[in-house]
Amino acid sequence: MTPPYPPSAAPLDLLYSETEEELRTAVRSLLAARCDAPGILGRIESGRPHDPELWRTLAVDMGTAGLLVPEKLGGQGASHREAAVVLEELGRAAAPVPYLTSAVLAAEILIGCDGPEATELLRELASGRRIFVPALPLTLAPGAPLPPPVRDVGAGVLSGTALSGTVMAVADAVAADVLLVLADTGLYAVPATAAGVALTPLVALDLTRPLATVTLDGAAGTRLADPATARAAIAGALLSGAGLLASEQLGIAEWCLTETVAYVRGRHQFNRPVGSFQALKHRLARLWLDVASARAAARAAADALATGAPDAPLTVAVAQAYCSGVAVRAAEECVQLHGGIGMTWEHPAHLYLKRAKADSLALGTAGHHRGLVADFAELPAP
């Protein structure tokens, strides 16, 4: 029996281009200057985890909000490969900015809608001046059934739209200017400040990507797409989101490994650096191997998305199934090998552990993605 995927699809480009490295350098130096751990912790304690100034520089001044948006629609006309590099760096800094939600998920949804209203909004999104957030649970996975849509109780009864319903665990909703709402009658853009929109912040595990419950009670919005188009657009966005999340996970894992290696080299117990003990050396060497593999998997997903490879859904599922676990393990090793200090609030390790663990649920668990692999590769369950 021959496997179902194209046997000799063009080889993926798994390296970083020079442009991508330049982009990385720019983002990294911005984050080094403006997004340190004490700053993140201070913001979290003030109850406003997002950093709007950082977002402005990153999204508006550097133009990263519109990387996925075609040039003719006001974006950069770049691709998933460049967005992936930005996400690697944001993961490495555990940066509290709504990049994944606005610049990736919302952008892909709007790109999939294709009408004049969506095009107009896409321009705004690409400018970085307004933040768009899909009103969908962060756990929603590609290939999973969409949650029951918000109901449009206005349709047919009143002259306008009256959206009513509740969506749980919406990431970055508190930073949103516009919510993209899936209703039974189609997709709607609803201003976050519109009458009938209530955001209830939740206490989230991941302190750097806040969650809220979105409650709509007769809210009005602009219709962007019919239900079928809306669902297809969301499906495409979830695929891209999951594929690019692998790069964020890679960034997290890399930070954890680098920090831990530096720490165990300097920390002395028993009259020698703890990093000279073979039990730790082998653990870290294995982790390094896993991170090197995660890089290949994440790059493959980004490139497959960028080129629209026919087997992109499989490549994305492979990346998610692999990178989630590596990020969590890297963060867990980071806490453990830092000893007592790794358990403190002051040390940033916990920010990464929380982000890594939440990311492992976001856009589908590793188990969900393995299930997708089973479908794509025709390896059915019993």
Q: Report the run of H or E that residue 59 belongs to, with start and end.
A: none
Residue 262's Cβ-count burial label (10 Å; 0-12, 13-18, 19+) is: exposed
Identified binder of another protein from the candidate list 32, 198, 205, 289, rule CB under 8 A:
289
Distance CA 289, CA 257 (A): 11
Does position 282 bind another protein by CB under 8 A? yes
Question: Pairing mode, if any, of strands 163-171 and 178-183?
Answer: unpaired
How far apart, in whole angstroms, are the C-alpha atoms of residue 369 and residue 359? 13
Q: How far apart are CA 250 and CA 290, in angstroms?
A: 10
Distance CA 104, CA 299 (A): 16
One of 32, 33, 205, 292 touching another protein (CB under 8 A):
292
Q: State the angle between helix axes of 80-93 and 278-307 in degrees (0 to 180), rounded to the nearest 10.
A: 150
- Residue identified by tokens 């991508």 is 20
Identify residues 217-276 at the interface with another protein (CB under 8 A): 261, 264-265, 272-273, 275-276
Select the span of 87-95, 108-116, 278-286, 343-351 touching another protein (CB under 8 A): 278-286
| Beta bridge partners of residue 197, listed in sequence order | 216
Q: What distance in Å separates the CA atoms of residue 22 and residue 32, rounded to the nearest whole number?
A: 15
Nearest to 24 by CA among 250, 336, 342, 265: 250
Residue among 33, 269, 286, 341 that touches another protein (CB under 8 A): 286
- Of residues 284, 307, 332, 336, which one binds another protein by CB under 8 A? 284
Residues in binding contact with another protein, number by CB under 8 A: 47
Look at the alpha carbons of 271, 346, 52, 197 in this order and tell me if their dihedral is positive or negative: positive
Instruction: Please name the residues in contact with 44: beta carbons below 8 A apart, sequence gap of 6 or more.
Output: 96, 207, 208
Taking the complex as a whole, the smallest distance from the CB of residue 199 to another protein amounts, in Å, to: 37
Cα separation of 334 and 31, whole Å? 21
* Residue from 299, 338, 347, 355 binding another protein (CB under 8 A): 299
Q: Does 279 bind another protein (CB under 8 A)?
A: no
Tokens of 242: 């999951």
Q: Applying CB under 8 A, does 24 fall inside the site for another protein?
A: no
Segment near another protein (CB under 8 A); pick from 95-103, 191-199, 297-305, 356-364: 297-305
Binder among 11, 116, 156, 308 for another protein (CB under 8 A): 11
> Do 251 and 324 touch, CB atoms closer than 8 A?
no
C-beta of 33 vs 374, nearer to another protein: 374
* Stretch in the footprint of another protein (CB under 8 A) among 1-9, 117-125, 181-189, 224-232: 1-9
Minimum CB–partner distance for residue 285 and another protein (Å)? 4
Residue ranges in 308-327 that form contacts with another protein under rule CB under 8 A: 318, 321-322
**Nearest approach, Cβ of residue 313 and another protein (Å):** 13
Contacting another protein (CB under 8 A), which of 5, 60, 63, 236? 5
Quick one: 85 or 122, whose CB is closer to another protein?
85
Q: Which residues of 271-285 are buried (b: 16+ CB within 10 A; e: fewer)?
A: eeebbeeeebeebbe
Please state the closest distance from residue 17 (CB atom) to another protein, in A: 10
Question: How many CB atoms neighbour CB 7 within 10 A?
Answer: 7
In terms of CB distance, is 94 or 280 closer to another protein?
A: 280
Smallest gap from Cβ 284 to another protein, in A, equals 6
Residues at the site binding another protein, with contacts judged by CB under 8 A: 1, 3, 5, 7-8, 11-15, 261, 264-265, 272-273, 275-276, 278, 280-282, 284-286, 288-289, 292-297, 299-300, 318, 321-322, 370-371, 373-374, 377-382
